[in-house]
Amino acid sequence: MTATGTLTPEERANPGPELLAATPKDDFTSPAFGAARPRRDWFDQIWNVLGSIRFGVVLIALTATSVFLGTVIMQAPGDVQASPELFAAWILGPRGRYGEPWSSIFEALELYRVFQSLWFRGLLALLSLSIMVNVASRTPGIIAVVRRPPVKVPTRFFSRAPLRVTVSFPVPPDGIRPKLATDLGRKGYRTIAWDDGSALAIYADRNRYGKYGTFANHLGLIIILGAGVLGNVTGWREDAFMVPEGTTRAVGHDTGLVLRNEAFVEEYFPNGTASDFRSEVVVLKDGKEAARGTIRVNEPLDVGTVRFHQAFFGPAVAMRVRNAEGAIVYDDSTALGFKYDGDGVTRNGGNFVLGNRQFAVFVLVPSASLQAPDPVIPAGSVRLEIFAPRQPRPVAVETLAQGEKREIVGFTFEFVRETQFSGLQVVDNPVVNVIWIGAALMVMGSMAVFYLPLRRIWARIETSPDGGSVVTLASAHVNEVLFAHEFAALGEHLAKKGGGKVLASVQPSAMGDRIEAGS
């Protein structure tokens, strides 16, 4: 980039004296992306493009555009994406909304599932790669900025720098130099003394380590993106882990965990909206108690890296089933966590399996939110639909009232009572904490760059005719109105501290409103 006359980010952010005085370039200003060294092979060319900030801007803009499209265009929910039948039903909505040809174009471009699409993932991968290449190529420059400050500047810099303040002191140069160094030190500058030919001089800089923030910032970003992928690969989640009150369910996923729902409680505001719902649970690992506690919406329970969240709840029924000999073959609760439409109404349903997969039993109750009464199932009763393997129609359909026993297909079914199930989300994301580390790095890194900007000042101390000294402070930060102001104030501060007087002050841009200045 330097070859074409523009500045590298480092040069722009840290203008050194060489920008004004044509001295041979120090290493720290050498082009960040290697444009000055002739790089001809294809690897270098790709490297240069990937690492260029121009390409970075394009990538960030493309990401922004994709995120925008994914925000304004209807996105298919996860379960819809997973099932072709559900998707076929779902797509009718967007088709009607956007019309043709848009709907087909959106479908072809996977715009109904932007964030799960391959192209979006590819874009994020390219973004990460570009960041890595860019940071790698900027690293030597940044380290040089911090470790090898351009202490010496040509004398003419002191008469050409955009920011200059001249101060006279009644003390000779070798008396004022340590004093200036101390006062600059109090303002947060580190100083290095040097000699500019006949005159004494000081180099001062502040916040040089803030430069390293850009590593933390972009590294944090890569960590977040990487941990996102890793979490998808190594973790799992169960969105509908339904455990009826008083029952025990295995978590699965090779965790060896079993959760027992001891009690479920729901509470309401006077206006009828839910104010709280919670489950009292015990989690066993390989038969031994591993955790016990209350799970609320904002209070999950952690067992190792597995986290249990309260998500929803619904009706459940406790059933007892005996075989022909009178032995109990089923004594458990069934969560009725699914909605079924039939007979013009919606019902809650769930199922359990009897014997060695001899029968599948579907249990249905009227929905609690039902306005009109169910025409078939009276409130407080359950309907059982019993299916034999590989048969499309139930072999028996019976409705039982609470407490009732009935013999069906050779078993005695007893509807013990209605209870509730607690719907939990179970998540195992072993790397989620890595995301937070990445996030902290990202924010702190950018704040370091923004709030700790590198500042450089040079001072040249000449002997004045009356035996005192004349100090010229110079700095090359252009287009920084606030710093220009701070710089002028620093000159005044140093003058006051050393018993001197400001003779002249040069600033390119004025502070304040031009109306106030009386123009």
Partner 1 sequence: MAKASYYTFTASFITLGVALLAYLWYTIGQRRGAGRYGTFFTVNGALLLTTSLGLRWFASGHAPYSNQFEFSLSFAWGTIASYLYLEHRFRLRSLGFIAVTIAFGMLAYASTLPSRIDPLISALQNNAMLTTHVAMAIISYGTFACGFAAGVLYLINRKGTISFLPAPEVLDEIGHKAVMIGFPAQAMLLILGALWANVAWGAYWSWDPKETAALFTWLIYGVYLHARAQRHWRGVRAASLLILGFGAVMFTFYGNYFLGGLHTYSGL
- Contact range with partner 1 by CB under 8 A, out of 20-28, 254-262, 294-302, 384-392: 294-302
Interface map 308-337 toward partner 1 (x if CB under 8 A): -x-x--------------------------
- Check binding of 53 to partner 1 (CB under 8 A): yes
Q: Which one of ligand HEM, partner 1, none interacts with residue 127, CB within 5 to 8 A by kind?
A: ligand HEM
Interface map 57-96 toward partner 1 (x if CB under 8 A): x--xx-xx--xx-xxx--x---------------------
- Contact range with partner 1 by CB under 8 A, out of 83-91, 147-155, 269-277, 362-370: 269-277
Least distance to ligand HEM from the beta carbon of 213, Å? 6
- Other C-beta atoms within 10 Å of 379: how many? 10
- Other C-beta atoms within 10 Å of 125: how many? 12
- Check binding of 446 to ligand HEM (CB under 6 A): yes
Q: Which is nearer to partner 1, 3 or 443 (CB)?
A: 443
Sort residue 150 into left (φ over 0), alpha (ψ -120 to 50) or beta: beta
Report the C-alpha gap between 229 and 291 in whole angstroms: 29
Report the C-alpha gap between 343 and 395 in whole angstroms: 19
Burial of 358 (0-12, 13-18, 19+ CB in 10 A): middle
Contact in structure between 461 and 161 (CB atoms under 8 Å): no
- Check binding of 145 to ligand HEM (CB under 6 A): no
Report the C-alpha gap between 394 and 384 in whole angstroms: 9
Q: Which of 29, 130, 166, 255 contacts ligand HEM by CB under 6 A?
A: 130
Contact in structure between 431 and 227 (CB atoms under 8 Å): yes
Round to the nearest angstrom and report the end-to-end CA distance of the chain. 40
Contact in structure between 503 and 470 (CB atoms under 8 Å): yes
Interface map 16-35 toward ligand HEM (x if CB under 6 A): --------------------
- Check binding of 449 to ligand HEM (CB under 6 A): yes
- Contact range with ligand HEM by CB under 6 A, out of 16-24, 354-362, 443-451, 509-517: 443-451
Choose among 517, 499, 501, 500: nearest CA to 509: 517
Q: Which one of partner 1, ligand HEM, none interacts with residue 273, CB within 5 to 8 A by kind?
A: partner 1
In the complex, the residues that contact ligand HEM under the rule CB under 6 A are: 9, 13, 51, 53, 55-56, 59-60, 127, 130-131, 134, 213-214, 217-218, 221, 445-446, 449
